[in-house]
Chain A
């Protein structure tokens, strides 16, 4: 379980954020005393830091720069400042991503998991049961036959696989697809899922994707 450290001085956002991350399967920790932010963060040894720019005592951008001198833990800047200058400055100081408030919680979770994947802290699953998943080629193979998935099907399958055993909502699937510049509608998602089911059953995995009514899908 990855530990995410929240640096945020707004109490309400802090607790809601922690709840959101806990529900998504992350461990969280946050600070309430901002007198020595730098060491508190480093000593907590988190896998990822969510850092607000406007925090007491020290400017978030300076804090980011100081932390970067000592460690390269992934840091996502979270701020209500919507200015290009802030973003460019943060990125040049070594932030891994920059998100502006108020964020869509689904997108925030997406960004967090993307950063964790990129920094190799998250294991990318490349196999499902006895199938090899080749995301670059967009294909599934059991060593004998290889079936090519469309881009949309691959995105859907990868997300289900990453959260194998958990329910993935249609909302999450949609957000991920749209984040990958696939602007499909509700019907198209249903069609894509049923095609994906057909392809999986070609390998003998009938009912690999189960539908949970009003909740989403689950890859078993």
Chain B
């Protein structure tokens, strides 16, 4: 709060007081009051005015400086009303009450949306469980009737993948975090994913190399399964025509973290696309020229990793390889 601006704001009362003084002065002179006495009256008049302005300034100064600095320092600015002390002057109190009221209304509004978004997620989860029943049933039917197996079950698995995408998108976007962190074997997790995608990997004649997977990390195994599954699915979309496809999965270990690498020898990602691949709906040049892409896969992965506290990174040389790595923290704090 600047004094000059405050003073400028008080221009009208100052002008009125000055005009009033000129009239008083005129009167006092008309009654032949001595100049010395007029000076004393004038001095008292202006002194009281000045004190008045200064006093008003300092009362407001404290309140507004507090509120401005609180507002600057707060990360969540909507918490402001609960940080500021109730002011001791009337206008301030009105202002403070309004602040509290708008804040409450905003909170109610947010709560309403949060609730509806939670309800939506719950519905999605419920829907996913329901839709999985006919899919499971059809998969069994395919298996029981070997003539139809193969191409039918392949399509069913595609449907199942799409369902998983919806579910994990709902989970990753939501405030309600339903995961469970515990020791998870990377070897076991990867084997589940490999087994799930075995038919497609073999049809595409993909060589799988694994190294140092016999390691445990702190994460949610279901989420990790989905994350790695997505990365593998991405690799399969963008294999190069020139080489035999290969995916190598390995871990590197340092004092503070374990990093899981999933590296393919596919078409790679251009340097101009690389910084944006984790952004929502970003498809890049590969997404246009190769397989159709929604631009959601890596975004969901990033979101899930952020929620779990893992760091996900991409490295690539166009035409040579893509290496997606996930780093798991080794903070012993999370171990019980």
The interface of chain A, by Cβ under 8 A from chain B, is 10, 12-13, 16-17, 19-20, 23, 54, 80-85, 87-88, 101-107, 174-175, 178-179, 181, 183, 185-186
Contacts and interface: CB of A to CB of B under 8 A. Distances in A.
25 contacts: A12-B133, A13-B136, A16-B140, A20-B140, A20-B144, A54-B129, A80-B129, A80-B133, A81-B129, A83-B178, A84-B182, A84-B220, A87-B221, A101-B135, A102-B132, A102-B138, A102-B139, A102-B156, A103-B136, A105-B140, A105-B143, A179-B191, A179-B195, A183-B201, A183-B208
Contacts of B160: 102
Interface in B189-233: 191, 194-196, 198, 201-202, 205, 207-208, 210, 213, 220-223
Contacts of B205: 185
Contacts of A179: 191, 195
A101 B222 contact: no
A16 B132 contact: no
Contact of A175 (B134, B144, B195): B195
A88 B144 contact: no
B179 interface: yes
- When A and B form their complex, which 10 residue pairs have the shortest distance between CB atoms, in order from nearest? A16-B140, A102-B136, A183-B208, A105-B143, A80-B132, A84-B180, A101-B136, A80-B129, A12-B137, A102-B135
B141 interface: yes
Contacts of B202: 174, 185-186
Interface of A (DSSP majority class): helix
A105 B195 contact: no
Contacts of B222: 82-84, 87
A20 B164 CA distance: 25
A85 to B, nearest CB: 5
Contacts of B198: 174-175, 178
Given A10-B137, A80-B133, A181-B187, A85 B194 contact: no
Nearest to A11: B137
B144 A23 contact: yes
Interface of B: 128-130, 132-141, 143-144, 156, 160, 164, 167, 178-180, 182, 187, 191, 194-196, 198, 201-202, 205, 207-208, 210, 213, 220-223
Contacts of B139: 102-105
A87 B132 CA distance: 17
Given A84-B221, A183-B194, 19 more contacts: A10-B137, A20-B140, A20-B143, A20-B144, A80-B129, A82-B164, A82-B167, A82-B222, A83-B180, A84-B182, A102-B135, A102-B156, A102-B160, A104-B195, A174-B198, A175-B198, A179-B191, A181-B191, A181-B210
Contact of A85 (B137, B156, B180): B180
A178 B200 CA distance: 13
Contacts of A106: 143
A16 B221 contact: no
A10 B129 CA distance: 12
Contacts, number: 92
Most chain B CB atoms below 10 A, which of A17, A105, A175, A185 = A105
Contacts of A181: 187, 191, 194, 210, 213
A142 to B, nearest CB: 34
A13 B133 contact: yes
A13 to B, nearest CB: 5
B33 to A, nearest CB: 91
B244 to A, nearest CB: 10
Contacts of B136: 13, 80, 101-103
Contacts of B143: 20, 105-106
Contacts of B207: 185
A87 B221 CA distance: 10
A80 B137 CA distance: 12
Contacts of B141: 16
A80 B136 CA distance: 9
A10 B133 CA distance: 8
Contact of B140 (A17, A81, A88): A17
A82 B139 CA distance: 18
Contacts of B195: 104, 107, 175, 178-179
A13 B137 contact: yes
Nearest to B171: A83
Contacts of A20: 140, 143-144
B98 to A, nearest CB: 44
A16 B144 contact: yes
B137 A178 contact: no
B223 to A, nearest CB: 8
Most buried by A among B130, B137, B156, B195: B195
